[in-house]
A and B are shown apart, each in its own frame.
Chain A
Amino acid sequence: MKVYVPCDSAALSVGADAVAVAITNAASSKGLDITVVRNGSRGMLWLEPLVEVETLSGRVGYSNVSVADVSALIDSGMLDGAQLPSSIGIVDEHEWLTRQNRVTFARVGISDPQCISDYESLGGWAGLRKALSMTSDAVVAEVTESGLRGRGGAGFPAGIKWKTVLNAVAEQKYICCNADEGDSGTFADRMLMEGDPFTLIEGTVIAGIAVGATRGYIYIRSEYPHAIAAMNTAIAKATENGFLGDNVDGSGKAFHLEVRVGAGSYVCGEETAMLESLEGKRGTVRTKPPLPALVGLFGKPTVINNVMTLAAVPMVLAQGSAAYQALGHEKSRGTQVFQLAGNIKQGGIVEIDFGITLGDLVDGFGAGTRTGKPIKTVQIGGPLGAYVGTEAWPTPMAYESLAATGAMLGHGGVVVFDDSINMAAQARFAMEFCAEESCGKCTPCRIGSTRGVEVIDRIVSGDEQSKNLELLEDLCEVMTDGSLCAMGGLTPLPVLSALKLFPADFNIVSGGK
């Protein structure tokens, strides 16, 4: 009989390793024959460690299992799927999952992520095999027609980027997967790399085959040691099994893939800074043009895609562009892997068609705050995203509809705060973070962020408030218009949205401005 205990690092952070050991030991001391499988996480993170037991009617889940509970749970019939206080029923029938549309995350949490035969039996490599049977142009056309857009935040159509690289003439081209998922409140890339690494490998190989690139790199931040280990192991297995190397799946086409590790720099998630870092240099931002698609890594044509973009590709190829195109909202096609985070009762991965409202995500899936206090604000799209209040609940979560409200989707992270949060502190932190992480290339970002902290402090302390408010707005305008990348360019977004929505937190005296 199989018992599943997640190996995802979020589950590990609440004791999953020790629980797995305890279950193995308890079962053996009771003479029970079980196999403990370390699966990825289902993404219902508030239930971790979520132990699942295989039964005839499906996998029964037990939530928040601790080492101290294990023996009693087994004595009470957990291994037979008994109904116990901590049981959540058949996991696949859990409303939180049945309401979702898991496309990219279809396999995450189902089996041992490092089992390459499980991967194949769950539909893996079908997209690659399809792509290998097609011409490069046809693969790129398929991706273009699917409507797949870059999931890193900018939302640029993946197929158009690929087409540019395909048409570029060069003796070497590259695929660079951006796994520098530094935005607070985002963890989908990490969970996919830990929970279904072969999907990312497959998507990256397809990109390489499509555009004629024979080398690829996955740039993973150093804060993700488990994802780094998972990708390295999976790459070795994929190479052993002929899905990477000089002869991909017997096609005669070559694709080599390596992991590169960052070193604690947020700005390296910006694509040109990432290229610099991949070249072993300081992660300073490059000017564009030239586009990385034409002059990218080592000056060669390069596809740079986010983990979520590349991980969506196998399904697009396997099931056809029409199936993917059929999902979504307006110009945002397919599904988005939302990440519900922060002070939220039911946080985790919600993969669903674009277009779900913010309110449905936060109240429907999230069930409000963990502390039980009222929600004050949510920040969408990471540290450079806007703070919005509950008046934004009806907004459909999609690229254009969010942009129309002055917010942005970013990498799909939604961070919830209760009413104990002080928004002046959040605005100040946004500037502080920018000062800490700026690469230093653009003066408004490098110096403006430090000045921003000081100006916010003066506003809060009531020092020449109206003059300083004007100065802050002026400073934000200079940062927005005078920075090459989103670091300096978007830091004003959380700052000004916090100020606009919650002036009282800045001690703004009415009539002050």
Chain B
Amino acid sequence: MSATAESKNLIEGKTGPWEVVIGLEVHAQVLSKSKLFSGASTVFGAEPNTHVSLVDAAMPGMLPVINGFCVEQAVRTGLGLRAQINLRSVFDRKNYFYPDLPQGYQISQYTQPVVGKGELIIDLPGGESRTVGITRLHLEQDAGKSIHDLDPRLTFVDLNRSGTALMEIVSEPDMRSAEEAAAYVKKLRSILRYLGTCDGNMDEGSMRADVNVSVRKPGSPFGTRCEIKNVNSIRFVQQAVDYEARRQIDVLEEGGTIQQQTRLFDAGRGETRAMRTKEEAHDYRYFPDPDLLPLELDPEWVARIKASLPELPDEKKARFMTEYGLGAYDAGVLVAEQASADYFEAVAKGRDGKIAANWVMGELFAALNKAGVGIEKSPVSADALGGMLDLLKDGTISGRIAKDVFAAMVETGKPAKTIVEEKGLKQITDTGAIEAAADRVIAANSKQVEQYKGGNANLIGWFVGQVMKATGGKANPAAVNEILRKKLSG
């Protein structure tokens, strides 16, 4: 644990600097066709109460049967977080009454989770990295959904989500700023998506975070924490931490004390509000679920899952840095999403990695952003972008023209070669044509020629510009430069 605060993360208060301490519990819906203990479907967005088995509705005499694939997904996630896999774990009942909890208890894992300690490396702006400890990962059932706004008096219950498998991934209180908390969620989501164990769609609720926040004077023991429940976007995580840290600092600086509390984040107002205090907390009466045997995993099965893990963001990032000569920041951005990493690699294969990275992160990302589409739906395929880079490399087009060609590719979907031919954008490497243009420019600008000859060497750029303009940008800038220098010094 990093007990020493980095000064840039400290929050200035009236009584001096404060350090915020953050731990996260992320609920990630397991990517699986069926629920944790029943065969019902997990498809999002279906008509209410259409994906509900007798088990999910907790009909009398119904029994849970573990879905082996969900366990495999949890183990895969644990391995992806470099965590200890517990070969024996236990499902417990967490008892409480709520209308969208049909059994009157949630089947969860309490003292013996399937995954133990692990770690996650977060990538910070500027290319820095930090390691955040993972405390545990356990499997549990999701509840259904209570809908309060369909009727002024009644609450409706949709059990489609009831029984869906969740992984609760608990971090150590290792984060020290809202940015780090956001980076943690981002990185975790990235790893889950690489692993294919959670789709990470926070707006559909497949990933939600409970954010534990406390503040302290640097070097002091941990302060009392408040837990902000169910924060459902990375931006909100950041806002919630910022607001909550400031609130706690204000309370403490006014001479008050922090009460251990569960709070909610009101995204509309950007603030957190108290839900219940420790005294009002439920007594969940956890005990081992007698309907389920302890979960025992075969070490060979775990080894097979481990062998099948894809290359994960951290390894990919390291490889991009060594194999393509990218900087940490660029490599980090490219590997955040598997699709961008794949796209980049397809472009970079057999080409200059840095140039490929610049184009992907520059022109391509800008175009995607503008169009509001993901890289999976890019109007320019990796092959097409590669083809354009080839034209750039062999001198068919200049860097400047390349930007226009790329814009046309985005617009028309045509390959670079076709656009270059159709628009006659082929670079002029014919020295005769360039020389003619240079002669015309020199003849028409005698004043500048004199200045240049008088020692203003910087004017060469201006001359190049004029020649480029005269050739419609198609002249090879290097050739133009060389020819002009020769002529002007003659």
- Chains A and B bind each other: no
Query: Contact residues of A with B, CB < 8 Å?
Result: none
